[in-house]
A and B are shown apart, each in its own frame.
Chain A
Amino acid sequence: MLKLVIEKELRDIITSTKFTVSFAACALLILLAFFMGAAGYNADVGRYEAARRENLKKMEGITDWMMVRNNRIFLPPRPLASLVAGVSNDIGRTTEVHGRGELPQDDTRYGEEPVFAMFRFLDLEFIFQTVLSLFAILFAYDAICGEKERGTMRLSFANPLPRHTFIAGKLIGAFIALAVPLLVPVLLGCVMFSLLGVPLSADEWTRLALIIAAGILYFGAFLTIGIAVSSMTLRSSNAFLTLLVLWIFAVLIVPRSAILIAGRAVDVPSLDDINAKKFRYSEQLFTEDRQKMSGFSPAKTGDMRKMVEEFQGFMGAIADERQKKLDEFSARLNEERANRQALQSAVALGIARISPSASFSLAAATLAGTSVSMKDRYLGAARGYQQSFGKFILDKTGMNPGGGMVFRVRTDETEKPKPIDTHELPVFVSEEAVLADVLPPAMTDLALLVLCILVFFAVAHAAFRRYDLR
C-alpha cells in the first residue's frame, strides 16, 4: 500500500501545472548557475594568469635580488568556488610577500567590484538554498491539509489505509517526484561545466557530488518541514503562511542573527586595535634600535668594505632581534584574537545551525573549500611561501630580506650587472582543500540535515496520528 501511495503522489505531482511551471523555472536557474559559474571561472583564470605575468614583468630589468620588494602571490581560482562562492569573494586574492612580517590580503572581489557585494552572485548554493527550499514548500504546504480541503482524504481513509503509510507515502512520493527531476538539470549542468572547459579533478567531482547530495538533503529537510506543518494545520492557506514565516526565519533571519548574537556575546579585538598595538610596539623597538645604532662604532681598520660589512652585520643583527620581538608580540596578539574569533565563530555557527539553511551553506562551502577556513588555508600557504622566498633571497644575496636598511657597495664598476631571472623565484602553490580534509567537518552539517528530516518526519507522523480526517 505504501508503494501505491508513493505512485499516486508521484503521478499527482508530475501531472500538475504547478510542477511544470516551477520545475522549468528551477531547471533554468540551475543551468544558469552552472553556466555563470563556468564563465566566471574562465574569466578568473584569465585574470589570475595575467596578474601573475604582470608580477614577473614588473621585476624585469632588476639586477639585484635584494631589490625585489613587491613580489606578489595570487590566490588561484577554484572551479568549485564558482559554484559555491562561500567566502571566496570576501577574502583578498593577492598578497605582497617581503620575506618577513605581516601578510595582508588585498583586492577582494567585492572590494574591487562592490556592486557584486550588493546583490551577491547567482551561484548553485544560492539556487539550492533559496529557490529549492521555496520549491519544496510550494509542494509540501498542502500535502496533507490540501487533501482534507479537496475532500480526497475522506475517501482515502474510508479504505484500510494506515495513517503512517499515508504520511510516509506522501513524503517519499513527493521527495522522489521533486528531487529526481531536479537531478536532470544538475547533471546537464555538470556536463555543461565540463564542455565549457572547467577542469575538475576526481576529488573535485566527488566533492561536487557531495554538494549536490547536501542540496538534496536540504531540499528534503524543507519538504519534511512542509509536510509536518501541513499535518498540523487544517487550512492550506494557514500552512503556507506558517511555512513562509518559517522559511524567512530559517533562510534569512537565523543565520544573520546568529552572527549578531555571537558578535555581542564574544568580543573580538578589531584588526585596527591589533595593528595599532603592533605599530606602537614597532615604534618603541625602532626607538630603542636607533639608540643602539647611534652607539655603533666600527673597528678602525680603514677598509671601507669591512666597515660596511660590519655595519650591515650590526644592522642585520638588530633587525633580526627587532623582528623576532615584533613577531613574538604579533604572534601573541594574533593568537589571542584568533582564539576569541574561534570562540565567536563556534557560538555563531552553533546558533546558526538551528536553521537547516545554515547547515546546508556550511556543508556546501566546506565541501567546496570556500568556508571560513579558506582564508586560513591561503594564509598558511602564504606564510610557507614567505619562508621559501626569504630563504631564496638569503641564498641569493646573503642577507635577510625586509631588514629595513640595505647598503650595497659596488666595487667593480666595469662589470655590467645581469638582470635577475624571475623564473628562478619560488612558485607559490596554494594547496586546495581535498575530500579527506573537508569531509569530516562537513559531516556534522550533513548529519544535522539528516537529523532535521528525521525529527520533522517524526513530528509529521505524530501530528497526523491525531489529524481530524473528517
Chain B
Amino acid sequence: MAERPMFEAAGLTKRYEDGVLALDHISFSVQPGEVYAMLGGNGAGKTTTINLFLNFIEPTEGEARIDGIVTHREPLKAKEKIAFVSENVMLYPNFTAMQNLDYFTRLSGRPAPSRSAYREALLRVGLEEEAHGKRLKGFSKGMRQKCGIAIAIMKNAPAILLDEPTSGLDPQAGFEFIGLLRSLRNEGKAILMSTHDIFRAKEVADVVGIMNRGQLVMQRPSGELAGQDMEKLYMQHIAGHTGLAS
C-alpha cells in the first residue's frame, strides 16, 4: 500500500479577483523522503502554489493537502506539519540568531528546546558559533538563509516548503544547501521547492515539474532526465520556446 503523500495538489486552481488565472488545475504529489522541484519562469504559478499550501490564499477550485489535511479547511492543523523557507528569509533584525530561532521554534507549537539544540541546528546549517549571539541586522542574505533553514529544522515538520531557496546564495553556500536538503530528504522529509535554478533542481530533486502560465506542463522523475539537456527541455516547455534551443 502506497504511503499517503505529504504534499498533494488536486486540481488546484487559482483565479485572482482581477481575473488573472494564476493556476489552472494542477495536480501533483510529494511523498515522504522525496524532493519535488517546481521549475518555471516568473508568473508560472510557483509562488501561487506555495501560497496555497500555506493558506495565504484560498483556491478557486481543487485542494492543496498536507498529509491529507486540506489547507484551506484546517489551516492551523496543516501548518503544524509544514516548515517554510522563503526566497529571502527575513527575520527580526533586533533579535540575535538564537532569539529568532527560539521565537519561531516556539511559534511552531513545539515546547522550547534546550539552548544546545538551537546551537546544534545553527551549526548544522553552517552558521558559525560566533554569529549565534549577534543581531540579525548585520547578517548577509546567506547567513539569514541559514537561519531560516535552521528554523525549519527546529520545527521538525514532516513537510518542507522552499520558495527559491538558493536564489542569491554564493556557489559555496548553494552547494552546502544542496547537501543539507539531501540529508533532510534522507530523514524522510517531503520537500517541495520552487526554483529558477534548473541545474540545482536536477541535482537534488527526485521529481521535476515544469510550470508555465499556471499549468504543470511537464512532470518527470529526475532519473528519466539523466543525460538529457535540462536547459533545452526547460525551454521546450515554457512560453512556446520550442525550437529555440535547436
CB distance from A27 to the nearest CB of B (A): 20
Which residues of chain A have C-beta atoms less than 8 A from B86's C-beta? 151, 154-155
Q: Contact between B151 and A155 (Cβ–Cβ < 8 Å)?
A: yes
At the interface with chain B, which of A113-121, A159-167, A321-329?
A: A159-167
Cβ-defined contact, A157 with B77, below 8 A: no
Bound CA–CA A132/B91 (angstroms): 29
The smallest C-beta distance from B117 to any residue of chain A, in angstroms, reads 17
Confirm or deny: B106 has a beta carbon within 8 angstroms of a beta carbon on chain A: yes
Q: Is the CB of A12 within 8 A of B95?
A: yes
Complex-state Cα separation, A15 to B94, whole angstroms: 6
Q: Are B91 and A159 in contact (CB under 8 A)?
A: no
B75 to chain A, nearest CB (A): 8
Residue contact B56 to A157, C-beta cutoff 8 Å: yes
Q: List 22 A-B contacts (CB under 8 A).
A: A1-B109, A8-B92, A11-B94, A12-B95, A152-B91, A152-B92, A154-B54, A154-B86, A155-B91, A155-B151, A157-B54, A158-B82, A159-B108, A160-B76, A160-B77, A160-B109, A161-B76, A161-B79, A468-B56, A469-B54, A470-B51, A470-B57
Residue among A4, A16, A154, A158 with the highest chain B CB neighbour number at 10 A: A158
Task: Pick from B82, B93, B103, B109 the residue with the most CB of A within 10 Å.
Answer: B103
| Interface presence of B218 (CB below 8 A) | no
The 9 closest A-B pairs by CB, nearest first: A151-B90, A158-B84, A160-B76, A15-B94, A160-B79, A159-B107, A469-B56, A159-B108, A470-B56
Q: Which residues, 140 to 157 on A, are CB-close (under 8 Å) to B?
A: 150-152, 154-157
Note all chain A residues with C-beta closer than 8 A to B94: 11-12, 15-16
Structural contact, A159 and B92, CB atoms closer than 8 A: no
On whether the beta carbons of A4 and B107 are closer than 8 Å, the reply is yes
A359 to B108, CA, bound (A): 42
On chain A, the residues within 8 Å of B155 by CB distance are 159
Among B56, B148, B151, max chain A CB count under 10 A is at B56
Q: How far is the CA of A151 from the CA of B87 in the complex (A)?
A: 10
| Distance of A160 Cα from B95 Cα, bound (Å) | 21
CB distance from B65 to the nearest CB of A (A): 16
Set B88, B99, B109: member contacting A11, Cβ < 8 A: B99
Q: Is B139 an interface residue, CB under 8 A from the partner?
A: no
Report the Cα distance A16→B95, complex, angstroms.
Answer: 10
Closest A residue to B78 using CB positions: A160
B89 near A: Cβ within 8 Å?
yes
CA distance A156 to B148 in the complex (A): 12
Can you add 8 more A-B contacts, CB < 8 Å, to A151-B88, A151-B89? A151-B86, A151-B90, A154-B84, A155-B84, A157-B79, A158-B83, A160-B108, A161-B79
- Residues on A with C-beta less than 8 A from B151 are 155
Q: Are A4 and B84 in contact (CB under 8 A)?
A: no
Closest to B90 in A: A151
CB neighbours (8 Å) of B89 from chain A are: 151, 155
A470 to B106: give the CA distance in the assembly, Å. 22
B28 within 8 A of A: no
Cα separation A349 to B150 with both chains bound (whole Å): 57
Closest approach, in angstroms, between the C-beta of B47 and any C-beta of chain A? 8
Q: How far is the CA of A12 from the CA of B99 in the complex (A)?
A: 11
